[in-house]
Amino acid sequence: MTFRRRDLLAGIAAATLPATARGAPPTLVADRPMAPPDWARLQRTLLRANAEACEAFYARYVDDRDQLRVFARWGANDGPDDAAEATNDWALLHALGGADRILDLAQRFWEGHLRQYTAARTVDVPIARQGMYAREFPVQMDWQHNSEGLTTFNLLGMSTPGDRTLLARTRRYADFYTGRDPIAHNYDPAHRVIRSMLNGSLGPMLRPATPLDWAGDPFEAGARFHMEHGETSYQQTLDHYAEYTDVVCDSPLNLQATTLGLNAYALGGGERYRRWALDYLDAWVDRARANGDMLPSKVGLDGRTAPDWWGGVYGWGFSPVVPQTGKREDRNRVPRAITAFMNAVLLTGDLGYIDLWRRQTARINAAAKRIDGREHTPTMFGPEGWYGWKPGPYRTNGFEIWYLRQHADDRAAAGDHPWLAFLEGRNPDYPLRALRADLDRVAARVAAREKDPTTPETRLADWPIDINPASVTSLVQLMTGGLHIARPPWSPTSPSQGGVPLHCRLRYFDADRRRAGVPEDVAALVHAMDDGAVEVTLVNLARDHARRVTVQGGAYAEHRIDSVTMDGRTLPVGARAFTLRLEPGCGTRLRIAMRRFADRPTLAFPWDR
């Protein structure tokens, strides 16, 4: 199946862009003095506080080889993917305007952890006996964990799109899943399936998984080490995965691999990465349509939806026993796959990929029933039908659906988030509260580091994650009008996760230093946005220096900026970006009219396109 919008965009090339989009973006000048807003001062304070705290974190938890100071082991709960998450949000912090030092540390750590887990080996787990990484990638793991481990990597291109090593590595990673790699036969292009839920640089697991495959070699769980999920022994760690056997199938979680295709394409790797991602996604759109508008969680290696379409690890019917309690816990992770369909919107401009999720929500809500006098809707499905009933309508992923579509009829399902209330003019104090909350979070993480009693011999790779001080949610929302899909849950209607692209309305670049992020002393606040426009205030807090900030439509320059209204005048732009010169102590409020998803995604800086 294809969408017409994708065919329309297939003919768009850089040569068709206006001249201003191929060289220096058009420049506007803001020369009206603006008293420094409190939110702007707090924003700059938060950028600095993040940088200082992250550097101190690095000194404590990373050694002089740029490797994590932990007991390195294989495991879905505390293995290589958790190590990679130690510097989550650092690359994003830099892309927003954080210190160059933070980008340097994030890059160094990525290289160091690759060396660390390439050298680390298992004794009992078969796949990792020659190294937990091969060719700089996990040898074999599921895409809940693979995607979390790629949280930093998938955003490095926002600051370093010209890095040839990054491009080569991104293409290599993506080709583990396009069918091109001669070793990792993960993808079957004829049936458009990834052949197992456990996959990686050494290929797919084509046998039922064992608890050992997931839990890793024996260790002193619950004795020498804190266990994030509450296990008190290694046996409980094994028992956690007793029902994680059904992996020889394709799963919606595997669609997270399309982010590698998106980034390879956006970095200039070639059209074939875009084509692969869309072919794979389109196969799942067809499967959902044939399955009554429900995205199946289990697809056979022949490309057909399995009779037990709800099956598979992390599927609609996945409710394993928790060994500590003996009770079953619902662990349906299918909703996480929406971010892959958001990739498809970036790659095509076609919101039809999100309509799939609206139809699925309608199907689930149609199954509602009254329990104790109140309407309940299901969250799970198994051999006996719907279960996992919760009060009220099913709204999971409602936030993402509304954000992408920007339709009024999706607004209720997005929930009553305080950020949305601010954008709608109902919560004017939100910027100050949100920025202070992130400052408090930085301080709390600093205090946790200072009081941390663990040593490298007594902590696992997941321990530093909750001490990492990087706190950027308010910055993403307020500066870019974007989504920060990360832990802890960022929206009451959405599952948090890692490894996904940044989705936002605006990005900024320092036009003088030729780097990503707002220039020094500059702050930005998105006040409102709808389908066709966004309103933002930009201010230069410096009293002795002008600053030039380039404003881009979208994280990947996917939104075409039609015009900018400033000081009552509307100026045509017709490009992916424009530059604003902020005179010393000056600021301005802009209304930026745009056509969302009008252009193909690229990570190239505005002056290099």
SS (H, E, C) 169-204: HHHHHHHHHHCCCCCCCCEECCCCEECCCCECCCCC
Structure tokens at 267: 């970095």
Interior CA angle at 336 toward 334 and 339, to 5°? 125
5-60 confidence digits (pLDDT tens): 333 333 323 322 333 444 567 899 999 999 999 999 999 999 999 999 999 999 99
148-193 confidence digits (pLDDT tens): 999 999 999 999 999 999 999 999 999 999 999 999 999 999 999 9
Distance linking the first and last C-alpha atoms of the chain: 32
Task: Kindly tell me the sign of the dihedral angle through the C-alpha atoms of 30, 35, 38, 41.
Answer: positive
Phi, psi torsion values for 481, nearest 5 degrees: 65, 40
Q: What is the pLDDT of residue 509?
A: 98
Quote the CA–CA distance of 476 and 594 in Å, as a whole number.
19
517-528 confidence digits (pLDDT tens): 999 999 999 999
Residue 430 pLDDT greater than 80, yes or no: yes
372-391 confidence digits (pLDDT tens): 999 999 999 999 999 999 99
Task: State the maximum Cα–Cα separation within the chain, in Å, rounded to a whole number.
Answer: 70
Q: What is the pLDDT of residue 5?
A: 34
Among 9-18, 41-50, 209-218, 224-233, name the one with the lowest average pLDDT: 9-18
Mapped onto helix, strand or coil, the DSSP state of residue 589 is strand
Q: How confident is the model at residue 485 (pLDDT cuts 50, 70, 90)?
A: confident
Quote the CA–CA distance of 33 and 56 in Å, as a whole number.
37
Q: What is the pLDDT of residue 2?
A: 35
Q: How confident is the model at residue 493 (pLDDT cuts 50, 70, 90)?
A: confident
Q: What is the pLDDT of residue 8?
A: 30
Q: What is the pLDDT of residue 490?
A: 64
Other CB atoms within a 10 A radius of the CB of residue 424 amount to 10
Residue 316 pLDDT greater than 70, yes or no: yes
User: What is the average per-residue pLDDT within 588-605?
Assistant: 98
Q: How confident is the model at residue 121 (pLDDT cuts 50, 70, 90)?
A: very high
Do the beta carbons of residue 400 and residue 418 sit within 8 Å?
no
* Cα dist from 57 to 353, 411, 443, 453, 456, whole Å: 40, 39, 12, 14, 14
pLDDT above 90 coverage of the chain, percent: 93
Per-domain boundaries in the chain? 509-608
* Cα dist from 273 to 179, 196, 260, 457, whole Å: 11, 21, 8, 42
* Cα dist from 257 to 194, 200, 260, 335, whole Å: 10, 10, 6, 15
Residue 486 pLDDT greater than 90, yes or no: no
Quote the CA–CA distance of 332 and 312 in Å, as a whole number.
10
The residue count for the chain = 609
Average pLDDT, the chain: 94
User: What is the average per-residue pLDDT within 567-576?
Assistant: 96
| Residues forming beta bridges with residue 516, ordered by sequence position | 509
Those residues whose C-beta lies under 8 Å from the C-beta of residue 375, and which sit 6 or more positions away, are 368, 369, 391, 392, 393
What's the topology of domain 509-608? Immunoglobulin-like (2.60.40)
pTM score: 0.95
Residue 125 pLDDT greater than 60, yes or no: yes
Mapped onto helix, strand or coil, the DSSP state of residue 529 is strand
Among 427-441, 478-492, 593-607, name the one with the lowest average pLDDT: 478-492
User: What is the average per-residue pLDDT within 429-454?
Assistant: 98
531-553 confidence digits (pLDDT tens): 999 999 999 999 999 999 999 99
- Amino acid at residue number 83: A
* Cα dist from 184 to 159, 502, 548, 578, whole Å: 29, 28, 46, 43
Among 188-202, 255-269, 489-503, name the one with the lowest average pLDDT: 489-503
